[in-house]
A and B are shown apart, each in its own frame.
Chain A
Amino acid sequence: MKDISLQNIWKAQDEKLERSLKLNLRIFESMQTQKAQSKLNALVRFKTVAVVIGVLWSAFLGLLIYGNQGKNVYFTVSVGMILFFSIWATAAYIKDIILLKNLDYSSSITNTQKKLAGLQVSTIKSVRIILLQLPFHSTWFWTQKLVTGDTRFQLISFPCTFAFILITIWLYKSISVQNMDKKWVKTFMNIGPEYKSVTRARDFLSEIEEFKKDQDIKA
């Protein structure tokens, strides 16, 4: 088949499309009356829910710290650190929402799609930030009396906290975009609804890179 015939076949669609007026009339009517709403906001909705949960959780933690009035330094520091990581993760989600809302669809396709896929993948980053608070969940109930005077407590609590720290470091290093195909990461991430979209976005990012890469080889 000659090259030109592909373009001619494509052109022949124009005539067909011109006769298909049902669709365009309905669309333009809705545009004129401003009824249209974007349907590409699933990711924004997911991240907004995460922000709402994050804000409520942070407010609750803030109230706990305020209520404690610094009476127990272990409680204040532990809950303070949990609050810090919660605010950090929430802020990361807020940043993503702002970027998604301002995503420029009139930029070049590789650029826009790369940004969009990157924002889907960034869910992983927020999960990793949230994980960093894990060790502090094993220290908030400590008191000066228990830490310095109770041997049984020391023998149980200190190793537990140390184990939490090791688990956190391991999880932080292991849960990554590259490891998304590992069975346990899949199981862990499946707790949230974003696993599939994150893996798809990661694969698409590779496709975009591949799509752009040829220029280096062939040029």
Chain B
Amino acid sequence: MNKQPQREELLKLIEANRGIIFKICNSYCKNEDDREDLAQEIVYQLLKSYAGFTVEHKFSTWMYRVALNVAISFYRKTRTGSNVIRLGETATDIEDKTNYNAELEQNINRLQQFINELKELDRALMILYLEEKNYKEMSEILGITETNVATKISRIKDKLKQQFSIVNN
């Protein structure tokens, strides 16, 4: 089989799913430079790991595994004490203020901050939950049982809700 079309095909798939990469980068990196480095690293590893991808796997499941594994490894390698996004810091560096919704903007930043404060593995789990993955898929990506996924999500959600209510009151 010709390798080039496979690579082209993969690049198209990655591009179509690039939102996943950017959201993961935002959740594991504070600085724009780090996010860019991480995004590049994820794409690099996706291309490198493509040989192991088989049609039995759902593309997004495979992509989440690679992206989250790379993000956690990258985070662990580069993290410093200040690697947490604080309230008021924009995680996505968007300057476009068209249809600017201050409350939504604030909530996005808060959610991003709360997620950034979670431990690496809990963060991965929460990203998958927010991406509306089902328990089965989450357990396959994380390598834990569905029961464990459900228990942890419930616990983290309670924690996040509590944090939101503290900030809002």
Residue of A9, A27, A204, A214 near B43 (CB, 8 A) is A27
Residue of B23, B62, B77 near A106 (CB, 8 A) is B62
Interface residues of A (CB under 8 A from B): 1, 3, 6-7, 9-10, 12-14, 16-20, 23-24, 26-28, 30-32, 36-40, 42, 104-113, 116, 200, 204, 207-208, 211-212, 214-215, 218-219
| Nearest CB in chain B: distance from A22 CB, A | 9
Find out whether the CB atom of A31 lies under 8 angstroms from the CB atom of B23. Answer: no
| Nearest CB in chain A: distance from B37 CB, A | 6
Interface residues on B, range: 35 or more
Find out whether the CB atom of B37 lies under 8 angstroms from the CB atom of A39. Answer: yes
Chain A facing B: main interface SS: helix
The 5 closest A-B pairs by CB, nearest first: A108-B143, A215-B148, A10-B130, A110-B143, A215-B145
A107 to B62, CA, bound (A): 8
Residue of A7, A20, A30, A108 near B130 (CB, 8 A) is A7
Say if the beta carbon of B119 comes within 8 Å of chain A.
yes
Known A-B contacts A9-B104, A19-B94, A37-B44; the reply to A110 vs B121 at CB < 8 A is yes
| Nearest CB in chain A: distance from B128 CB, A | 10
Find out whether the CB atom of B11 lies under 8 angstroms from the CB atom of A28. Answer: yes
Find out whether the CB atom of B96 lies under 8 angstroms from the CB atom of A40. Answer: no
A32 to B44, CA, bound (A): 11
